[in-house]
Amino acid sequence: MSDLDNSTSEGTATQTVNGEVSVNFNGYKLPILFESKADFSGLANSASPQESDTADSDQPLTHYHSFFYDLFTWKFPRATGFFFSFAISLILAFRFVNVLRYVFKATYLLFFGVAFLEIAARPFGVRGFISSVRPKRYYTIPRDSLDRLFGELHDLLNFFVLEFQRVLFVENIFATVVAFFASFIGYFLIKYIPFWALLLLTTITAFTAPLIYLQNQEVIDEQIQWANEYANAQLANGRQIAEKYIDDASVRARATATELTQKVQSYAVKKSPTTEKSQASPLPKNDGPAHEFPDAPKSDLPTVDGTSDVKAAAPEPIVA
């Protein structure tokens, strides 16, 4: 279905087909700024409160889930390109330009200008220019605006809290693995590169990685499937090896325990008769034939060949 609007000039017409706006100029279609407006409108509709997705626990997610998904997947390329360029420019500006210093400079120039315009006409008796344009009532922030602002901030904080819990409790194993590698790489990079460079690298990765994945989804999914199957095969092989080692260790442990038990029992059997015997009779009885010893001699000294071994003492000589 197409709607043909009134021509803006001769030979030029604006045509809207399936929500895409283009300009017909003498038969040629030219993109116009309305396409960018349509992209921003579509991204804004993604961020508006609506029926959102739910987690595995049937808990409803915030509408920012759809917003960031459409933003990082380049569903609306012009709006995403604008936010991507703005983020990169903001990081580089804060890195190479002293933004806070220029904010103070703009502030004092503003106050100096209004003070000069107000004082310059006073010597001539003319009312100051700034006083003449002063509003009757100063502008105030409506309460409804603050309520909407804090409501959006509340939803945004809940988005980060919910997404962190979904990754932490492995609702999607791929997202958890990606978060692991991202944090692991960041842990090492932060030691070698400054924070602004790490933030710049993170922003570029966040805006380009989903687009690369969508453009090469089939090839990446095949590689992920192969890696998953390979990891499962290695886990199964490791489980079988572990079970084999556990069975062997249990068999060896049972054999060792049986052997030790047998040794203890044999040692107890060998030692028990001696113990009982020692407890029954401390001095063993000599029932068998004992060694025979010779009888004690009845005479004082034994004789050899009928003569006494002891000679009589010779009489002492008589001294004349």
Mean pLDDT, residues 44-55 = 65
- What share of the chain has pLDDT > 90, as a percent? 19
Q: What is the pLDDT of residue 46?
A: 73
Q: Give the SS3 label for residue 67.
A: helix
254's enclosing H/E stretch is: helix 217-280
Tens of pLDDT, residues 151-174: 889 988 999 999 999 999 988 888
Dihedrals phi, psi of 180, to nearest 5 degrees: -65, -50
Distance CA 284, CA 262 (A): 32
Distance CA 67, CA 84 (A): 14
Q: What is the pLDDT of residue 168?
A: 92
Among 47, 111, 118, residue whose Cα is nearest residue 79: 47
Rounded to the nearest 5 percent, the helix, strand and coil shares of the chain are 65, 10, 30
Confidence of residue 293 (pLDDT cuts 50, 70, 90): low
pLDDT at residue 84 is higher than 80: yes
Among 120, 114, 111, residue whose Cα is nearest residue 134: 114
Q: What is the pLDDT of residue 311?
A: 47
Q: What is the pLDDT of residue 20?
A: 45
Q: What is the pLDDT of residue 207?
A: 92
Mean pLDDT, residues 251-269 = 84
Mean pLDDT, residues 198-222 = 89
- Asked if 33 and 42 touch (Cβ cutoff 8 Å), the reply is no
Distance CA 232, CA 240 (A): 12
Out of 128-142, 221-235, 267-281, which region has the weakest mean confidence (pLDDT)?
267-281
Distance CA 41, CA 32 (A): 15
Indicate the average pLDDT of the chain.
76
Q: What is the pLDDT of residue 318?
A: 52
Q: What is the pLDDT of residue 44?
A: 76
Q: What is the pTM of this model?
A: 0.58
Q: What is the pLDDT of residue 308?
A: 47
Confidence of residue 300 (pLDDT cuts 50, 70, 90): low
Among 10, 75, 24, 26, residue whose Cα is nearest residue 46: 75
Mean pLDDT, residues 31-59 = 68
Distances (CA, A) of 116 to 67, 109, 123, 133: 47, 10, 12, 15
On the CB side of 218, CA atoms within 13 Å amount to 0
Mean pLDDT, residues 44-59 = 66
Tens of pLDDT, residues 87-122: 999 999 888 988 889 999 999 999 999 888 888 877
pLDDT at residue 83 is higher than 80: yes
Tens of pLDDT, residues 301-316: 555 444 444 444 445 5
Q: Look up tokens 């626990």; give the residue.
A: 57
